[in-house]
Structure 1
Amino acid sequence: MRSGSPHGRRSGPWPRARRPLLLLLTLVVSLLLPLLLAPSLAGPPAPGSSYALAQAAPFNRPSHYPLAQRPDPRLYQPHADWIGRLILPSAAETDRDPGDWVWVEIEHAPTTAVALQGQVLRLGWAQRPVLQELVERVSTDVRFAPEARAIEAQGNVLPRRLDGRRRVGPLQSLAGARPNDDLIVQLEEVELEPAADGPSRLSIGRPPLQISGRYVGLGRILGPVASQPERFRVQHWSPERGDFSGPEDVVRVPQQPRDRYGRWISTPRGLSSNPVGAQGWYLYGAPDAEGLFTVQAIRPRALHLLSPDAVLPTTREGLPYILRGNWANTPRQRGRIRRVLLGENWQAGDRALLIHSFGGIGGPGGERISGFTVTGHFAFGEARVVNDAITGEPRFDLRYHQIYANNPNGIVSGTQDWTAFSGDLQRGWLGSRPISDVLIKLRPFDDLTVAGQPLSLLQELANQAEVLMARYRSGDGSGVSTVTPSTSCVQDSSQALFIAIDRLRRRTANEPELRRWIKAHPQENSSQAFRQLAGLSSSLDELLSPFGMVRSDWRHNAAVVAGGSFVRGETGVDALLSWRSMLPRRAHDDMARVFLQHGASLWFLRSNQLAGGDTSLEPLAPTLLLGQIPILSTLLRRLSDALFAPLGAASLGSALAVVAAYAALALPLGWGSGFLSPWRLEALGPSLRAVPGLLLMPALGEELLFRVALLPHPLEGESLAGSAAWGALSVGLFVLYHPVAARCWYPAGRGVFGDGRFLVQCTLLGAACVLSYGLSGSLWPPVLLHGLAVTLWLWGLGGRARMQEQPQLSP
């Protein structure tokens, strides 16, 4: 990875030259973003939280599912080996026994520890450096901020039980995130510690994973039981036959209470008739007191199978699919799924980065859209290809690193299994929002070992996401985590990625033996993967810090160690310094694009209000700024991409090559036709004073119109033929513009702008500007080329004389 500056970022005059633009954009964003962050709810909400409304239904409380009740083992399997319900210890208990620990009621244990089921045990961390660092970095005293009461009054769930506690660590902030002890988790890398003075203790080697349902079965839903709309007949999977010819069963899929906005997050209506269900549903839940299996989460089997609906070539169709195809026609896709593969096939054992996003809820009962923008949501996560425990077939297993602010639904910031975040019937979004999960397989994500040193961007990102998620749960000690332009799910997920890259870069910079080994073994697979990771980190740097300046809060938080304090960016400048990760849709698309360009294989898993029986709702794709006005949104995207495209050595070299080629053609043609006079520099002072005005108009004005607004930006992935067609149109309109201008509003140009020799020069200039823009993706090379050509023509090649001594406007 790159080294040099303390945080591996670019230095030099270019970032400083961008600062006036940064200040101007800060003002614009300060005016626009309050519209985006305004409440986007349809109608006044009911008092209280959606979580409290859901808790009024007995089936949403753990007590509804006695641990002694177990389903038929032929039909249902445990969701995981170790499952527990976290219980927050009292303040007196933590005073007597300091440290980050909680109680856990064991809901399921492997056969070697089955006697522990039903017991309440002490749960702590294994003695591992990465876990101890996590605890030491994020443990904090919690004192609710003055605005906490107002945040609660808006219907948000705050960790009220943590208020006033000292040294709250990540386990305690997780257990105390909701008013009730109802957080169900999967425990991984469990170590059992027998205690002489009481019950055994458990320690874990990974942070708890939030899940839904103790047991899981796979079946095809046949239809509701007569006169009992919440009960459904299910034909279970037969492992022997490999189809749905197993025993028939009756399960309960409860109708969840409406949330505080009057919407159903999920509903069983339409579940049995959904075509996606032909391949079966995974049903997660547990038996109630009467032994009736009650579904708490649902997952369509088809969505996570390794069976794409389409396989697209990455070079030709990859970028267009990311930018346009993935979310195309979302409202019309209601109730459907789509799976698209870009690149090579996957197999069991593959690990991948996950980029998650969801959109909005439209329709008569949906959310009100603010500022013509559907903001949506963003998260990183991890995907694995596993062999399914029921069918034996390979499928995707997904978990999210959800950096989530205070919310009415009781969604807890933390690592969540797909069942807890998407499939959960009480608070999951499967039935009410469109969801995109992009799975990215790239070799450096695996546990890369170079010269005996483990290097894994995937693992380091998970570590840093845990820090951010724990900080959100405690509100950095304030109890409050809200969304602003600079602190949000997408901005802070990006912060976690930046810190992960920064830490890997520091490790490699501080290991001279590692760098010597890589230099001495350039053909080794691990060395090639390391170089790929280094190139990827450079591209991600440009994405996360598009101005070449790292946000001060990110830089500070990357260096926090035990006992340090974190800071949160709160200004418009902070938001602008990471503007590419301000909106979830922008970050979702740009991240996927960068990984694709570095050779990754991508899976796109899309669902659109799947099994959502509420016909008053429709799925809305997340958008860019002003995305519901497509033309304006496209122009804003192209303008931002063109203004702030990084200009590296390759871009500058290509721009100089275009200038040289343009001069080699234009000058001989101009002199040969007599249109250009022999070179003679006129008054130096006036010519220099004219340069700023000429750069502004015609150079900047015309390039914004004929290149930026008209041409697809290189990041849009237009094909070569398409780019050539748009380029030809751009040049044609650019040439036509001049005689039209002379005839309609600029009479001073009539003597020149209709001259065929001028139009030839204009054609060459337009073609050169199109080429320099296409090669660099930046507005500035064509502006400088345009301004240079006009200035030299006017003040050195006889242009002022031809314009009758009126140099104000020119081609």
Structure 2
Amino acid sequence: MLLLPQPWLRRPPQRRRRWPVLLLAIGAMALLLLPLARAALTQPAPRPPTSYDLAWRAPFNRPAHYPLERRPDLALYRPHGDWFGRLILPPAAAMAQGGEDWVWLEVEQAPAGHDDLIGRRLRLGWQDDPRLRALVGKMQTPVRLGAEARLAAQQGNVVPTRLDGRDDVGPLQSLAGAHPHDDITVALEAVQLEQRDGEPMLRIGRPPLQSTGRWVGLVRLLRRDPADPERFRVQHYDRLRGGFSGAIETVRLPRQPPDRHGRRFFDPEGLLETPAGDEGWYLYGAPDSAGTFTAQALEPRLLTSLASDRLLRGTTAGLNHINRVNWSRDQTRRGRFTRVDLVPDGPHTPWQPSDRSLLIHNFGGIGGPEGEPISGFTVTGHFAFGAARVVIDPFTGQPRFDMRYHQIYANNPNGIVSGSQDWSAYTGNLQRGWLGTRPISDVLVRTEPLLLEELAIQAEVLMARYRSGDGSGVSLVSPAISCVQDSSQALWIAIDQLRRRRRQLDGRELPRLASLAQALDALLTPFGMVRSDWRHNASLMDTPGDGPDRFKANPSLWDGVLSWRSMLPRRAHDEMAGVFLRHGDPLHVVRTNQVPGVDERLAPLAPTQLLGQLPVVGVVLPRLMDAFFAPLTGRGLALGALLLGAYAAAALALGRGTGFLPAQRTRARPLVMVRQAIVLLLTPSLIEETLFRAALLPHPLEGLNGWDSLAWGALSVGLFVAWHPLASRLWYRQGRRLFDDGRFLLLASLLGVACVIAYQATGSIWPPVLIHWLVVLIWLELLGGRSRLGQAVQG
């Protein structure tokens, strides 16, 4: 009773007796409510809307907004492909167990003579080609969404929930079912029209190409409607007059709703003023129900023309542009765009119609007040391969680049679907394209056609696997599984397949292809060992049928280390371009930075190497990685031995002539030499070479010209020599007399020259380390160096 509050003691007895009853009532209610509370706590939080969901709320992002019966003026617009339509996923019950991979296609465009098929829903399947059937069979898998897929959805990513529980999901089904709604539109190639049970059916020999907008027109923007800022007066291109003197009409460029981060993928603000539109815009879209042509994608004509702003000749100049200029601060200003031709050493052949090229794609980050967070001082960005060809523009009659991307793309909030996509579906798409929000680099490489064809096949396999998640329904990013690592896997498997088929290939193309494959191997497998998952998946490509084994998609940490040079998109982009340039392939580089670039809340961020945003570390760390992980080859050892011999001859002559080196050799003590050799390998050899060569000098892969290399080399030697007197005054005072001796400094200068040559010639830290180590070891233990330092070593 002493512990109860005094007011309780003063209450009347009848009121005191009510408290036990009240406590019992509260306890009973708690017991009744406890299961409900537990259920509320264990029930998952409502899934946040994805950026795709937010965009879907806008009517102009839905297929129903564009009635098929509405057609634009055919004198002004052209169909976006011969066969074009919307994919529709059939019900699970319609898919026979173990049957073929097929979906419905709502035909939106058809070739001349097949206009009666427009608006019809046709069955879409694969041609009866043995190799094609085998590839499709390897990619068919049952899809079961598990905990990883549920977590991805909870994090706001688009997950293919409509595929859950289906068996034998193939590439067509995984593409049609990638979105919550049937809104993926594609262009078809290699199409056969046939009859099945009395109904027309389409069979394709190539995977569908994701495309946006069933119609395309070429216009110049004239002015904006003050009353409705989404409506523009445009003038069409007139091919007969060779300019924008055609019909004038009003079109709609809809402002996209904010995504889940509050950013808009497209805002028409600034389109009239941007220089990127000086040569007009390709509008991809369709008329709405009122007949107003509404753009769903934009493409600046200037960026796809064959013209360039600059032409740089020479391999060294090209490497310097790729590694130093392309992503420099000046080249990454908001709204800026450039087109640069890089011509390697040798004759230059201009681009011609029908030329085909590899596309190497890299984008950076979104900075500014409304930008995205940066993790670990590294702007990772994104990497992809693709293909481009020179076509004749039907509007102007002039050649232009037609670009498509092999997007190996993980599940994401925006609904970007892994697969082949053209410009209208990827870069220029108003709902989710990156033209206005990210800095982009597209490098077009005119290289071996055989490699382009095989890479496209292997990329399609990886892209289909990403869509199905190899059965899990989700593909997420890790250091060993990512857009850049798996694009590199596709390239390595393509090279492996060409080697297996070399007897079937044209012998005239083999030497160039073999030299390119060897250079790419050095990049993709820097330690000379192939990742186990890559080798396993490559072997499956030669296995008849789908077989009992499946693709491997769970590599170990060691597998990621084996392909470290293709772990970050920026490194892979720059080094891939460098390999092709050294091979003698011309490059065409197209760079854009948030076109039109008037939104000051956003800023383009260049993709970086590891810790690339740290001022000094971001430069030094990639150099150290390149220097330390470069293998010690037989050529490097031979060059090191040659330089060591030349230095020894010069040093002995100078040392004996000046009296710095004794005439007689010191008696060798094997045990002492072995013990000291281990210490001297670390210091000074490894430490000083790391400091004055690997960290200080630009790596040879960066593409310095001869004079710049000479200047950096002179700086390296100068600092290396000055280091010794400085050390003797700060922390190594017993060496002051020796380190101030002009004869010692002369020999140190020669050693620095030998080490610089070894490093710049090989790109590896190990040849200069070995030279430095052997010189110091022999001098200290055999040529009286310790007596000059005043040191005594116990034997």
The TM-score with structure 2 as length reference comes to 0.91
Q: 3-state SS of the aligned residue for 2:746?
A: helix
Residue 594 of structure 2, aligned match among 598, 609, 619: 609
Q: 3-state SS of the aligned residue for 1:111?
A: coil
CA 1:221–1:46 in 2, change beyond 3 Å: closer, same or farther?
Answer: farther
* SS of corresponding position for 2:199: coil
Written as runs of structure 1 = structure 2, the 5 A alignment for 1:303-702 is: 303-329=303-329, 333-343=333-343, 344=348, 345-442=350-447, 445-446=448-449, 456-508=450-502, 511=503, 527=507, 529-560=509-540, 561=543, 562-563=546-547, 564-677=549-662, 678-702=664-688
Q: C-alpha displacement at 1:571, in angstroms?
A: 3.4
- Secondary structure (helix, strand or coil) at the match of 1:422 reads coil
Instruction: Kindly provide the CA deviation profile for residues 519-565 of structure 1, in whole angstroms up to 9, marking residues without a partner as x.
Output: xxxxxxx6453111111111111101111211111111111241321
Q: 1:486–1:574: 8 Å Cα contact kept in structure 2?
A: yes
Aligned to 1:573, the other structure's residue is in SS state helix
Q: Does residue 112 of structure 1 match 2:113?
A: yes
Task: Find the residue that maps to 1:698 and give its secondary structure.
Answer: helix
Look up the match of 1:75.
76
2:751 maps to which of 765, 779, 782: 765
- 2:67 matched residue in structure 1: 66
- Over 3 Å counting, the alpha-carbon distance change for 1:97 and 1:791 in structure 2 is closer
**Shift, 1:681, TM fit:** 3.7
> How many angstroms does 1:648 deviate by?
2.8
Q: Which runs of 5+ in 2 are unaligned?
A: 1-45
Distance 2:335 2:777 in 1: 60
Q: Does the 8 Å contact 1:330/1:608 carry over to 2? A: no
SS in 2 for 1:321: helix
**In the TM superposition, what are the counterparts of 1:70-469 in structure 2 within 5 Å?**
70-95=71-96, 98-195=99-196, 197-329=197-329, 333-343=333-343, 344=348, 345-442=350-447, 445-446=448-449, 456-469=450-463
The one-letter code matched in structure 2 to 1:712 is P
1:127 CA displacement: 1.6
Structure 1 residues 631 and 129 mapped into 2: Cα distance closer, same or farther (>3 Å)? farther
**Partner of 2:244: helix, strand, or coil?**
coil
Structure 1 runs, 4 residues or longer, greater than 6 Å off: none
- Structure 1 residue 714: Cα displacement: 0.9
Question: In the alignment, which residue of structure 1 is the partner of 2:8?
Answer: none
SS of equivalent residue, structure 2 residue 216? strand
Output the TM-score relative to the length of structure 1.
0.89
Shift of 1:129: 3.1
Match of 1:713 among 672, 683, 699: 699
**1:71 shift after superposition:** 0.2
1:180–1:330: structure 2 CA closer, same or farther, 3 Å change rule? farther
The answer on whether the counterparts of 2:697 and 2:712 sit within 8 Å (CA) in structure 1 is yes
Q: Which stretch shifts more, 94-103 or 625-634?
A: 94-103
Deviation at 1:790, TM superposition (A): 0.6
Counterpart position of 1:52 = 53
1:302 is aligned with what amino acid? L
Contact 1:266–1:612 at 8 Å: present in 2 too?
no
Superposition deviation, residue 332 in structure 1: 5.6
CA distance in 1, matches of 2:467, 2:170: 10
Range with greater deviation from structure 2 (375-384 or 766-775): 766-775
Cα distance in 2 for residues equivalent to 1:74 and 1:106 = 21
8 Å CA contact retained: 2:332, 2:439: no
Give the match's secondary structure for 2:574.
helix
8 Å CA contact 1:82–1:187 kept in 2: the answer is yes
CA 274–285 in structure 1, closer or farther in 2 if over 3 Å, else same: same
1:733 is the counterpart of 2:733 = no
- The answer (yes or no) to whether the contact 1:330–1:619 under 8 Å persists in 2 is no
CA distance in 2, matches of 1:121, 1:796: 86
Deviations 1:576-604 (A, max 9, x none): 11111111000000000000000010000
Aligned equivalents of 2:274 and 2:302: distance in 1? Answer: 12
The amino acid across from 1:543 in the alignment is: L
CA spacing shift, 1:278–1:48, aligned 2, 3 Å: same
Q: Secondary structure of 2:426's match?
A: helix
CA distance in 1, matches of 2:249, 2:644: 75
**d(CA) in 1 for partners of 2:225 and 2:123?**
43
Distance 1:199 1:318 in 2: 56
Residue aligned with 2:147, SS: coil
1:30 is aligned to none
Bigger CA drift: 681-690 or 376-385?
681-690
Contact 1:46 1:260 in 2 (8 A): no
2:479·2:567 contact (CA, 8 Å) conserved in 1?
yes
For 2:109, give the aligned amino acid.
H
Report if the CA contact (8 A) 1:60-1:426 is conserved.
yes
| Higher relative contact order, structure no. (Cα contacts within 8 Å, ≥ 6 residues apart) | 1
Query: Structure 1 768/332 Cα, relative in aligned 2: closer, same or farther at 3 Å?
Result: closer
What is the rounded CA distance, in whole Å, between the counterparts of 1:56 and 1:506 in structure 2? 51
Bigger CA drift: 718-727 or 89-98?
89-98
CA distance in 2, matches of 1:689, 1:325: 47
**Is the Cα–Cα contact under 8 Å of residues 325 and 331 in structure 2 kept in the other structure?**
no
Tell me the equivalent position of 1:449: none
- For residues 136-169 of structure 1, give each alpha carbon's deviation from its aligned partner in whole angstroms, at most 9, with x where no partner exists: 1110011112222121011111110111111111
CA displacement 1:167-188 (0-9 Å, x = unmatched): 1111111111111111100010
- State the secondary structure of the residue aligned to 1:437: strand
One-letter code of the match for 1:377? Answer: H
**Equivalent pair of 1:215/1:284 in contact (CA under 8 Å):** yes
Write the distance in 1 (CA, Å) between the matches of 2:332 and 2:706: 31
* Structure-2 separation of matches of 1:164 and 1:613: 46
485 and 738 in structure 1: CA distance in 2 versus 1, 3 angstrom threshold:
same
| Other-structure match for 1:754 | 740
Q: Distance in 2 between matches of 1:256 and 1:573?
A: 43
Q: Cα offset for 1:112?
A: 2.2
Would you say 1:780 and 2:766 are equivalent positions? yes
TM-superposed deviation, 1:630 = 3.4
Distance 1:713 1:610 in 2: 33
- Separation (CA, whole Å) in 1 of partners of 2:98 and 2:756: 69
- Cα-to-partner distance string for 1:731-764 (whole Å, 9 max, x where unaligned): 1111111122112211221231112221121111
- Secondary structure at 1:224 match in 2: strand
- 1:658 alignment partner AA: L
- Matching residue's letter, 1:559: S
**RMSD over equivalenced CA pairs, Å:** 1.6
CA 1:464–1:208: 2 relative to 1, 3 Å: same
Q: Is the 8 A contact 2:407 2:463 kept in 1?
A: yes
The worse-fitting range, judged by mean Cα deviation, of 276-285 and 292-301 is 276-285
Aligned-pair CA distance for 1:614: 2.8
**Number of matched pairs:** 738
Tell me, in whole angstroms, the C-alpha distance in 2 between the residues paired with 1:752 and 1:327: 46
